[in-house]
Each structure stands twice: as C-alpha cells, then as structure tokens.
Amino acid sequence: MDKVIIFDTTLRDGEQAAGGTLNAQEKLEIARQLEKLNVDVIEAGFPISSPGDFEAVRLIAREIRTPIICALARAAPKDIDRAWESVKEAEHPRIHVFLSSSDIHLGYQLKKSREEVLHTAGEMVARAKKYTDDIEFSPMDASRTEPEYIYQILKAVIDAGATTVNIPDTVGYAIPDEFGRLIEGILNNVPNINQAIVSVHCHDDLGLAVANSLESVKRGARQVECTINGIGERAGNASLEEIVMAIRTRKDFFNLTTDVNTTQIYKTSRLVSELTGFVVQPNKAIVGANAFRHESGIHQDGIIKMPITYEIMDPRTVGIPASSLVLGKLSGRHAFKERLAELGYSLSKADFDRAFSAFKELADKKKGITDRDIESLIAEELRTVSEVYHLDRVQISCGDRGIPTASVMLIGPEGQVLADAALGAGPVDAVYKAINRIVGVPNVLTEFAVKSVTEGIDAIGEVLIRIESKGITYTGRGADTDIIVASAKAYMNALNRLLAAKKAAG
C-alpha cells in the first residue's frame, strides 16, 4: 500500500486559532507528544512572525529528532532567511514557502500581476533551496485559482527545487469532487510533477476539510496537512485523528497507510486541548467523550453481544482503554501507576509523587475515581511546574443575605506568603479581586466556562477562563470538586501564563 505522509500543523496553523496562543515550552511539550504519535512532519511555527515564535521553532528543531521540522515563510528573502535560522539545527529541516495565487488575492491583497507572482515564486524557492534540499511550496487560495495558472506556478517552483507542492483550500471553499478534480488535473497537466510530492491543506469553513483531504488522497495526493482536534484559523483545519483513522479503518477502500502510532491519538488530543484551552466537543469523532459511548438500549445490547455491531473501531486503537480498573482511597501506588500507564502517562518520580498525593486527596472526597478524573487531576498537577505564584488556600463567605467575601493566600516567586481579601458581586468575583490585589497585573476577563468532568454530585468541576492583557489572550484551566477553588486555580493558571510571557519578552 502507498503511504500518506502526515504533516501536522497544530503548532503553526492550529495556534492561529483565536485564543490558542502557546508559549515555547508548551509548543515543545506538544512537539514531543507529536514525535511519540510518529507524525512525519511537524510544522513548528512561522518564525518571522515574532521573536517568541522564532525561539519556539528553534527549540523544537534542537530537541525533536525523528520527524521533519518545518518552518513557514512568505515568499520574501527575510522570511526565508529567518526560517532557515530557526530550523538549521534540525535533524531533518524543511522550509515551507507560500505565496497567494488566486486573482482575488492578487488583485485585492498583493496588488501584483500573475507574471510577477510566477517570477517571485520561482525566485524565492530557489533562494530557500540554497539552504536545504527539502522545500515545500504552497500557492495560497489554490481552490479559487484558475487551474491552468496553478499548473504554471507548480512547474516553475518544481524547476526551482521544490520537493513538495501543497494545494491549500485556504478559505474552505472547495467541494470534495471539485477539489479531487483539481488534484487530478495537477497530476495530469504539470509535466514535472513526478519530481515532487503533492500535498493538500484543507480548512473547515463548510465542514468539508476532512472530506476534501480524503478525496484528494483518493485522487493521488500523498501528503495531508492537518491538526490535532482540527483546531486552526476560523473554523479550523482537517482533523488529524479523523483522517488517520479513516485511512486505517477503510483500508479496503483507500488501499493506503500511514506511520502514525494511533494508540497515542487520545493522549495527544487531551494534551492539545489542555494547553490551548479548546474543549473537545463530546460528539467529536474519534476523541470526543461520546465517541465510544452508547445510550440506546438496542445499541447497548449489540455492544454487549459483539462490539463490532455498533463500533467500527476498537477504542484501544486510539489509546482509550476498553476496560476500567476501579480506583479509590484504598488503592496503592502500584495500581495508580498501572492506570496512568494504561492512559498513556509516563511521569517523572517527582511528578508521580505529586500526582499520587493529589489522587489520594481526591479519593477521600469521591467514592470512585474515573479515567476522566485522573486525566483532569494529572493535567492539574502538571500545570504547577511553571508557576510564578502558587494558590495556597481560598476561603469564601457568601449567601443570599451576605456580601460575598473572599480571602486568598498565595506563595510568591521567592517563597513568600502573600494574603489579601476582597468583596465582590459573587464568590468568584471576590476571589479574582483578592488575587488581583496581590498579583497586580492589569487584565480583563473575557471568557468564563464551567463544566463537570464526570457525572454525580461529587464530580470534579473544570473551569476554563480567558483573560486579555495588552491585546493578547491567555487561557487558564483549573479543576477541583469545589467549583470556587477550580475557578481560583484557573485564574492563577492564566495569570502565570501572562507573567511567563512578560518575563520572556523582557
């Protein structure tokens, strides 16, 4: 079977999703997990866009050795030079050059003729080729470009040294059959196309990104650009997990394969959700909470008799354990460690000790600990690693006849104990005001969402917030059986990200 190259752009296009900003260490953490997932290419960022993104790409290029590490560049000398500086230490570096091709973009955005763009595309690919042999080129907005012009551009950039030519449905405009015909046309009409791999990059504005990507590989494309959980600009990108599992589940139809380690899919999805703050909707294919849950009595009867009656995939193939080990307050370190291993976690001794202590504390509050409880707990504990301020305790007084009052105690950057109190319109408002009095970083709360991680009155509550400071959004998450404490943890998480970004910026 032919192999489809999986090009993951979670750290570039995925991060462009509004509110999804990641710092360098968070991007490196995701890159390490993508390496475990065994993707072929990691597009680590857009180095010219900011000093922070440049450093993140360079860090990933130094640390991640197995996949190709790719940096994005506009068709401009400074962009290409900067891209090479960021990836030159990679084991397998790639420069990805892009330039608009549609008459809409040329007329309204670039103010250039087709001839000028054609010349620039070839010239800039040749410049990139001086640095590395692995060059990708994308004619942006290809799905709204006249096919004959696409053929001309692709021939020129392949002649100049491009080894991958990517066809982007930049605005999610294409319909599967139409996009498939474009790919077929490229394979049949670009005379030197056999010297390059044909790739596709589809957006989900009409909900067709995965369908367009799969139609493309059916018609001959052999690289797909996608993101974990389908995150990305506007409505997002083609979802990596859906593409990979469609190819795996329907080998009979596609006769294709990928090198992705599918047992790492669920863990990767959870990590990206945790660090970006984007919740995975319950009905999301492959990784949603309901993807392998059955409510209908007829379905339940079939699943009990033979899972294949209503499940086309074994949940274990994507890293979701099919069976559950019951954990509670009497469970020991070994049982907890085994459960973490089943869920895909490998913690250092210090992280494990802290997680086990938190598990025991939670077990005293809950009868049974579910997988979702454990995932939430691990995420909560690992968030404490990069704290500037640590939430030590929260105390609330409120009611329908009283004025909501909160007192908080924080541990400062040098271990000092800091405490203050405040009144508020409600208990969460009072907590946030008390924290602000201590930390003293101006910000605006732009989003506040609460959800239950599991069912039951003793469920863990998870809070997602977003704050804005100087036009930049920072995401925070917190979890606890007490929703006010969870809210405080989420706010501290967001503030610590804000403070870390300020420190990195100098």
What is the pLDDT at residue 462? 86
* Structural domains counted in the chain: 4
Highest mean pLDDT: which range of 86-90, 362-366, 494-498: 86-90
Q: Which residue has the higher pLDDT, 456 or 171?
A: 171
What is the pLDDT at residue 411? 94
Instruction: Tokens for 381, please give them.
Output: 């504990």
The SS3 of residue 466 is strand
Per the domain annotation, does 209 fall within a domain?
Answer: yes
CA distances for 364 relative to 326, 327, 451, angstroms: 15, 12, 22
pLDDT band of 476, cuts 50, 70, 90: confident
What is the pLDDT at residue 461? 86
Q: Say whether pLDDT at 423 is over 60.
A: yes
Tens of pLDDT, residue by residue over 315-329, are: 889 988 754 455 777
**Cα dihedral sign for 224, 229, 231, 234?**
positive
Q: Say whether pLDDT at 383 is over 70.
A: no
Regarding whether 100 and 15 lie in a shared domain, the answer is yes
Per the domain annotation, does 150 fall within a domain?
Answer: yes
pLDDT band of 373, cuts 50, 70, 90: confident
Regarding whether 367 and 330 lie in a shared domain, the answer is yes
Mean pLDDT of 471-489: 88
Q: Which residue has the higher pLDDT, 447 or 325?
A: 447
Chain-wide mean pLDDT for the chain? 90
Regarding whether 153 and 33 lie in a shared domain, the answer is yes
Tens of pLDDT, residue by residue over 119-161, are: 999 999 999 999 999 999 999 999 999 999 999 999 999 999 9
Q: Say whether pLDDT at 294 is over 90.
A: no
Per the domain annotation, does 429 fall within a domain?
Answer: yes
Task: Calculate what percentage of the chain has a pLDDT beyond 70.
Answer: 93
Mean pLDDT of 363-377: 75
Regarding whether 78 and 49 lie in a shared domain, the answer is yes
Regarding whether 334 and 317 lie in a shared domain, the answer is no
The burial class, CB within 10 Å (0-12 / 13-18 / 19+), for 307 is middle
**Cα dihedral sign for 188, 190, 191, 194?**
negative
Instruction: Tokens for 333, please give them.
Output: 């370190």
Question: Residue 472's domain spans which residues?
Answer: 387-505
What is the pLDDT at residue 322? 59
Task: Calculate what percentage of the chain has a pLDDT beyond 90.
Answer: 65
CA proximity to 94, closest of 14, 172, 12: 12
Regarding whether 395 and 360 lie in a shared domain, the answer is no
Q: Say whether pLDDT at 308 is over 60.
A: yes
Lowest mean pLDDT among 196-200, 228-232, 340-344: 340-344
Ranges assigned E (strand) in 75-216: 93-100, 135-140, 164-169, 197-202
Regarding whether 418 and 352 lie in a shared domain, the answer is no
Mean pLDDT of 295-320: 78
Mean pLDDT of 102-119: 96
What is the pLDDT at residue 83? 98
Q: Say whether pLDDT at 177 is over 60.
A: yes
Q: Say whether pLDDT at 346 is over 80.
A: no
Write down which residue in 383, 405, 422 finishes a domain.
383
Highest mean pLDDT: which range of 127-141, 295-309, 339-353: 127-141
Q: CA-CA distance, 232 to 10, in Å (whole number)?
A: 7
Query: What CATH number should be reported for the domain holding residue 92?
Result: 3.20.20.70
DSSP letter string over 411-423? E-TTS-EEEEEEE
Mean pLDDT of 277-287: 91
Query: What CATH number should be reported for the domain holding residue 497?
Result: 3.30.160.270
- Tallying the residues shown for the chain, one arrives at 506
Write down which residue in 366, 383, 400 finishes a domain.
383
Regarding whether 379 and 393 lie in a shared domain, the answer is no
Mean pLDDT of 385-390: 78
Regarding whether 400 and 412 lie in a shared domain, the answer is yes
Q: CA-CA distance, 127 to 95, in Å (whole number)?
A: 11
Q: CA-CA distance, 408 to 151, in Å (whole number)?
A: 64
Regarding whether 215 and 66 lie in a shared domain, the answer is yes
Q: Helices (H), strands (E): how many in the chain?
A: 17, 16
CA proximity to 228, closest of 197, 188, 274: 274
Tens of pLDDT, residue by residue over 19-40, are: 777 888 889 999 999 999 999 9
Tens of pLDDT, residue by residue over 53-105, are: 999 999 999 999 999 999 999 999 999 999 999 999 999 999 999 999 999 99
Regarding whether 402 and 368 lie in a shared domain, the answer is no
